[in-house]
A and B are shown apart, each in its own frame.
Chain A
Amino acid sequence: AQSVTQLDSQVPVFEEAPVELRCNYSSSVSVYLFWYVQYPNQGLQLLLKYLSGSTLVESINGFEAEFNKSQTSFHLRKPSVHISDTAEYFCAVSDLGSSNTGKLIFGQGTTLQVKP
């Protein structure tokens, strides 16, 4: 069975500071990894994904995540955050490529609070 652990439920940070949101997963099969963002009263938006290839993936708004197979991690980073980055962030894992149960398993979420 697959599982995802987001190690921090809340991360407060000042504007323009760097941030890292941690995500670890467990799986016995090859996986795809995702980060989704949820702004207040909205649905989930895909931030970035790792399917294959380069282990470092980037989003258009400055976030990046690195797939580390040996540490089973997919931490999300941004070198300088903005107030508008305040949201809840979800790490997710799926087996859509291999056994394909159709499930996307989510972590519990990390609330990023950017302070001025």
Chain B
Amino acid sequence: EAGVTQSPTHLIKTRGQQATLRCSPISGHTSVYWYQQALGLGLQFLLWYDEGEERNRGNFPPRFSGRQFPNYSSELNVNALELEDSALYLCASSLVGELFFGEGSRLTVL
């Protein structure tokens, strides 16, 4: 069974640009979670999608947004990139309770 897959693995952008990160959950999982792992800040909850709807959002500005598609895959969009957005973005999926994480997408903002 394939795990959670994320793309791209690495992404380099400059300040002010937009970044789009993608996540495919484990087959059968309907919930997708996004976390940011920035140096020195630990793992911060970003977004939770379930059945195509945004269910909860962490303490991040509106330029962090996303969506979940009918096949339960998800996109995370970060607009107007800032240097401090440089981080590993982790996606996780779950069916009930336990979260399964992907390998992450490392975003570098120059």
A binds B: yes
Chain A residues at the B interface, C-beta cutoff of 8 Å? 32, 34, 36, 42-46, 49, 51, 90, 94, 96-97, 101-109
A107 contacts B48, C-beta separation under 8 Å: no
Q: Output the nearest chain A residue to B94 by Cβ-Cβ distance.
A: A96
Q: For chains A and B in complex, what number of residue pairs have CB atoms within 8 angstroms?
A: 53
B100 contacts A102, C-beta separation under 8 Å: no
Contacts of B100 in A (CB 8 A): 46
> Chain B residues with Cβ under 8 A from A105's Cβ?
45
Q: Are B97 and A45 in contact (CB-based, < 8 A)?
A: no
Contact between A104 and B42, CB atoms less than 8 A apart: no
Listed in ascending order, the chain B residues whose CB lies under 8 Å from chain A are 4, 31, 33, 35, 42-43, 45, 48, 50, 55-56, 58, 90, 92, 94, 96-104
**Chain B residue at minimal CB-CB distance from A49:** B98
Q: Which residue of B lies closest to A90 (CB)?
A: B43
Which residue from A49, A94, A107 sits with its C-beta under 8 Å from B42? A107
Closest 7 CB pairs of A and B: A102-B48, A106-B43, A44-B101, A43-B103, A43-B101, A102-B56, A108-B42
Asked if A104 and B99 make an inter-chain contact with CB atoms under 8 angstroms apart, the answer reads: yes
- Which B residues lie within 8 Å of A96 (CB)? 94, 96-97
